[in-house]
Structure 1
Amino acid sequence: MNSPLTIGVFDSGFGGLTVLRALLPLIPGARYLYLGDTARLPYGSKSRETIARYALSSGRFLLEQGAEHLVVACNTATALALEDLKADLPIPVTGVIAPGAAAAQAVGAAGHVLVLATTATVQSGAYTRALEARGLAATEKACPLLVPLVEEGWLEATPETIAVTAEVLRIYLAEAMAEAPQATSLLLGCTHYPLLKPLIEETLRRLDYPLRLIDSADATAQAVAGQIGTRAAVGVATSTAFYATDSIEKFQRLGSRFLGQVLPPVSLIDLGG
């Protein structure tokens, strides 16, 4: 029997669980380790140097736990710390930006892609560079209110909270389309945003914006599966272990929403400041 492949996944919080959710059916029989650095979120408001330090400590922790492939399931950390991680760690490292850009190219994005992302990701210009390298133009739109709305459960709590989220999303999309009316594809540049997909699709229909939707979480999972292949331990069930740096009860509660299934007990760890 082969030993299971160990895949480490990390994010500043819960959003990266959408990447893990997409990975689970693609690479069965693997051992998955997920770290949510909840004590130090949001990464999006930190400097590049601080984000790199946080990302390196998260990556090193997962390496110590046996990770053989690291997935940076955070757009901000990918934009600002991916090269640091690749230089520091002796294992393959995959971020979420290049797979998202490649997916946009693969669907025939007709030259112009609208990217919704956090402020830090937009300010990094990482998606613009990745898309332009593939011959595609890009307009990046910062949507700072979407992550807290998702994490507060305002997609489902009450009709009033759902209406607030829908209106915030409508404003962002209307502003973005005014800036890039030529866009034909919409790339979700934050791993929280897959939870918004049904609302985004509904809003696009109401606004009559016929954009093709590209999910960078799904694209990342497909990219990792392509790199790893189908190496899975014969006769071994998929296993998952979860770590958080703060509020494990909250992580388990919100994480279940992002993963689409109940999380097992979450281990609390300390990665320092």
Structure 2
Amino acid sequence: MNNKQSIGVFDSGYGGLTVFKSIARELPQYNYIYFGDNARTPYGDHSFETIYQYTLECVEWLFAQGCPLVILACNTASAKALRSIQQNVLPFKYPDRRVLGVIRPTAEIAGDFTLTRHIGIMGTRGTVNSESYLMEIHKFFPEITVSQQSCPMWVPLIENNEHQDTGADYFVKKYIDQLLTKDDEIDCIVLACTHYPLLVSKMKEILPGHINLLAQNDIVASSLALYLRKHPEMECRIGKEAETSFFTSGDPQAFNSNASIFFGKPVVSKHVNMKAQC
């Protein structure tokens, strides 16, 4: 059934492109629409109510483009908007649509990568302050000790394409040291920001060899593949022409230039005026 409906992938900025890159690699046959709300990023600086409203507006825009399934490839949106959308909006307004996030798939498997039962979370201030990872991991692995560390300089370094420079080494080591100081038994670190896979090589140079790094991109891609196998009624609605479209609420030229850092190849996007959607 090739009806050209698409899987929507949403992020407040660019980081979700690391998730989408893995999704498109694992599931290349499907149609996709990627939307970045770059005009209103970073979401983490906003209130809970504002993040929820922005996220809902973007989800509804993707629904209007013919996406029956939307992936929130954004930790802040997943932490502060996903549950409300799933519980308070979808059943009453969009009963045949689904919205999935990035936190639960990561939490479900985190305990499989630690022998000491001590895990570290590295994320933005918004994600860390939400304590979403603590709550989700403890649902599946109540015995695990979880410590968190916010890394406020990592996203700016990545978005300015300075993450591979030697100047970035100081901030990578700084936050790793701060996390391990909190708990020296940590043997698994969850990268709770979709930007952070771009820092994995630098992190591995600094971290002791026994510490596992869990990046979300491949985890979410595998989780989506499993979801589609378990839900053939949704899978059959997705077009299989392998078509992809990119949209941004920001400047398309800037998006195209920066997106290639995260997606690994050239991107051509179109502009969406989200203010006009409000």
The one-letter code matched in structure 1 to 2:172 is L
Partner in structure 1 of residue 138 of structure 2: 132
- Per the TM alignment, residue 23 of structure 1 is displaced from its structure 2 partner at its CA by 0.4
Q: Which moved further from structure 2: 107-116 or 97-106?
A: 107-116
The one of 126, 129, 153 equivalent to 1:145 is 153
- Secondary structure, in 3 states, of the residue corresponding to 2:7? strand
Instruction: Tell me which residue corresponds to 1:269.
Output: 272
Q: 2:194 maps to what in 1?
A: 191
The offset of 1:109, in angstroms, is 5.2
SS of residue matched to 1:210: coil
Distance 1:40 1:243 in 2: 14
| Paired residues for 1:111-260 under 5 Å | 111-135=117-141, 136-156=144-164, 162-204=165-207, 208=208, 210-229=210-229, 231=235, 236-260=240-264
TM-score, normalised to structure 2, is 0.90
The corresponding residue for 2:41 is 41
CA shift, 1:101, in A, is 1.0
Q: What secondary structure does 1:133 align onto?
A: helix
Q: Residues 59 and 109 of structure 1: is their aligned pair in 2 closer, same or farther, counting only changes over 3 Å?
A: farther
Aligned equivalents of 1:77 and 1:235: distance in 2? Answer: 26
8 Å CA contact retained: 1:8, 1:33: yes
Residue 114 of structure 1: SS of its match in structure 2?
strand
Amino acid of the residue matched to residue 92 of structure 1? R
Task: For residues 216-253 of structure 1, give each alpha carbon's deviation from its aligned partner in whole angstroms, at most 9, with x where no partner exists.
Answer: 22211111111012847999541111111112111101
Deviation at 1:129, TM superposition (A): 0.5
Amino acid in the other structure paired with 1:199:
K
Alpha-carbon separation, structure 2, partners of 1:82 and 1:234: 22
Could you tell me how far apart the structure 1 residues matched to 2:55 and 2:238 are? 32
Distance (whole Å) between structure 2 residues aligned to residue 92 and residue 26 of structure 1: 20
Q: Greater CA deviation, 64-73 or 84-93?
A: 84-93
Q: Whole-Å Cα distance in 1 between the matches of residues 259 and 53 of structure 2?
A: 24
In the aligned structure 1, how far is the partner of 2:249 from the partner of 2:238? Answer: 33
Identity %: 31
* Corresponding residue for residue 97 of structure 1: 103
Q: Using a 3 Å threshold, how does the CA distance of structure 1 residues 175 and 3 change in structure 2: closer, same or farther?
A: same
Root-mean-square deviation over aligned CA pairs: 1.9
1:15-66: per-residue Cα shift (whole Å, max 9, x none)?
Answer: 0001100101222221111110001010111111110000000100000001
Instruction: Indicate the SS of the match to 1:238.
Output: coil
The answer (yes or no) to whether the contact 2:18–2:217 under 8 Å persists in 1 is: yes
Q: Separation in 2 of the partners of 1:171 and 1:19? A: 26
Q: Does the 8 Å contact 1:114/1:185 carry over to 2?
A: yes
**Aligned pair 1:6/2:6, yes or no?**
yes
Number of aligned residue pairs: 264
Q: Distance in 2 between matches of 1:8 and 1:213?
A: 27
CA contact (8 A) 2:19 2:217 kept: yes
1:166–1:199 Cα contact (<8 Å) kept: yes
Q: What is the TM-score with the length of structure 1 in the denominator?
A: 0.91
Task: Give 1:25's aligned amino acid.
Answer: R
> Is the Cα–Cα contact under 8 Å of residues 173 and 206 in structure 2 kept in the other structure?
yes
- Do the aligned residues in 2 keep the contact of 1:7 with 1:33 (CA within 8 Å)? yes
